[in-house]
Amino acid sequence: MLGDFWGPFKEELDFAMANIRKTEVTIEKPCPDCGKPMVVKWGRRGRFISCTGFPDCKHAEPFTTGVKCPSEGCTGELVERRSHRGAAFYGCSRYPDCKFIANKLPVVA
């Protein structure tokens, strides 16, 4: 049974690995540490912004939603995050200084 599965699967996997193209979305923001361009990447907890100089430069930032944190006196923006169980929520980019979280994005007036 495993042999019947593995043969066709291996052929498709080899084809996909030979023809896959990795795309990077460059943003117009230089890395604050080394000055190289920053790109949008995907990790196990969602999108983030990272330096193209990785692994020499390990600077990374959260991918913000553009919505300002509603906590009084906070200058951060809300970031989409995932819990260890996979549930999505929004938290402040200035965590742990600001501990604001919400299940939905607040309505911007």
- C-alpha 98/C-alpha 100 separation (Å) is 6
Residue 32, both tokens: 């604050």
Torsion of CA 71, 48, 87, 90, to 10 degrees: 10
Residue 102, both tokens: 């919400």
Residue 49 has pLDDT above 60, yes or no: yes
Residue 66 has pLDDT above 80, yes or no: yes
Q: pLDDT confidence of 62, banded at 50, 70, 90?
A: confident
What average pLDDT does the segment 6-10 reach? 92
For the chain, the domain total comes to: 2
Domain check: are 36 and 74 in the same one?
no
Domain check: are 86 and 108 in the same one?
yes
User: Whole domain around residue 86: which residue ranges?
Assistant: 64-109
